[in-house]
Structures are given as C-alpha cells and as structure tokens.
Amino acid sequence: MNRYQYKNFVIEVLDEQTYKFGSSDNNFSYTKHYFGVDATEHPTSKHGIKIYQGEQIIDNCIVIGSGGATGIHENSSLIDNDLLLLCCCDTIFCLTLCDLELKWKTQADQITCFQIFKNQDDYIIHGELQIAKLDKNGNIKWEFGGADIFVSIDGEEEFKIENDGILLTDFAKTKYKIDLDGKLIWDTYKR
C-alpha cells in the first residue's frame, strides 16, 4: 500500500486483486470505477484509492486494467500538486484530488507500466517494453525501446534516472543511456 498525506487528508492506494466488478461479495464497495482498454472483459490488476479525513473515508474509486499485471509499490503512484497518478497494467491514470475524478488516462506501454516519476512538468514512465515521457495532460512526448524488455530477474537495476539521463538495462543485459528527451547517448548492444 502507498499512503500519502495531502493537505488535511490521507490517501491510500492499495492492491485489490480479489475485487470483482458488480459483485456484492467484495470486502469494500467502491463508488467510482475507471477502466483501461479491455479491462471490463479481461481485468488483470485492480487498484483501489481511498481518501480519509480523520478516520472517515470521504471518497474512493477503483482503477481496473488489463495487460501485464501491476502491484502497488513505492514508485507505482505519485502525488503531483492536486493530482494522483497511478500505474495500472499498461495505462497511467490521472485522478483529481480530492474528488477522484478521472482527468486522463494514457496507454504508456503495450504490456505493463511499472513505475512513474515526476520530471520537471512531465512524467517519465518505466514500462516493460519502453520508456516514455508524458506531458501534464497525458500526451506522449517520446518513447524509447531497446532490444529486449526492461526487466531483471537477478536483481540488477534496470532503470535509474540521473541528472543527465536515464540508465537502462534490458533482459538480455544490454545497457543503454538515454537523455531526458529520449535520445540514445550510448548502448552496449552487440551489432
């Protein structure tokens, strides 16, 4: 679970894998539902958001996506001024605070969006197939893909933002450095 202090509210973002849309057997009944592409027919991940004032829940929603499964961890969501941004499967969802209305949603990877980071007025997305930069309205400014997926199974850091660019390592151990405009600076790809 991610927990944020926002003004005099507490915002919780949590994994809700057992939630079933339309079921009366859910542990909690969310009042708003937002879906990614194909998520009504093939839901993969479900992430709930609850806003508390004191001990009272004053608003809530659930985001349901399809594609590669996502969980809730340190960089899977962020608060930016009066917005909550959240990775759910292949999509970034942007919700307004404190009414949890959907401002925009953008498919930022064909499979899975793992992490989201603020970069000046934009957002950098670590996806499975590509790295992307979105503007504050959810428009894709650039995308970068490597020779393989940006996933590591041996604990090697596959994504790191530095002052002058982003260091990447793909599944085949090819290393890349791109600048903050998505342009390749160097790679270790054997051609």
Q: Residue 191 pLDDT > 80, yes or no?
A: no
What gap in Å lies between CA 67 and CA 149, rounded to an integer? 15
Q: What is the mean pLDDT of residues 160-171?
A: 96
3-state helix, strand, coil in the chain (%, to 5): 0, 50, 50
pLDDT-above-70 percentage for the chain: 99
User: How many Å apart are CA 138 and CA 89, to the nearest integer?
Assistant: 16
pLDDT at 181 over 80: yes
pTM for the complete prediction? 0.96
Question: Structural domain boundaries of the chain?
Answer: 1-107, 108-191
Report the alpha-carbon distance of residue 76 to residue 28 in Å, rounded.
Answer: 22
User: Which tens digit of pLDDT belongs to each residue from 47-61?
Assistant: 999 999 999 999 999
How far apart are the C-alpha atoms of 107 and 180, rounded to whole Å? 20
Per-residue model confidence as pLDDT tens digits over 113-154: 999 999 999 999 999 999 999 999 999 999 999 999 999 989
pLDDT at 38: 84
Let me know: does 1 contact 37? Beta carbons within 8 Å.
Answer: no
Place of tokens 């504050």: 136
The CATH T-level fold of domain 108-191 is Thrombin, subunit H (2.40.10)
Owner of token pair 């909550």:
84
How far is residue 105 from each of residues 89, 153, 155, 162, measured CA to CA in Å?
A: 12, 29, 30, 27
Q: Look-up: residue for tokens 């996506």?
A: 65
Q: Rounded mean pLDDT of the chain?
A: 96
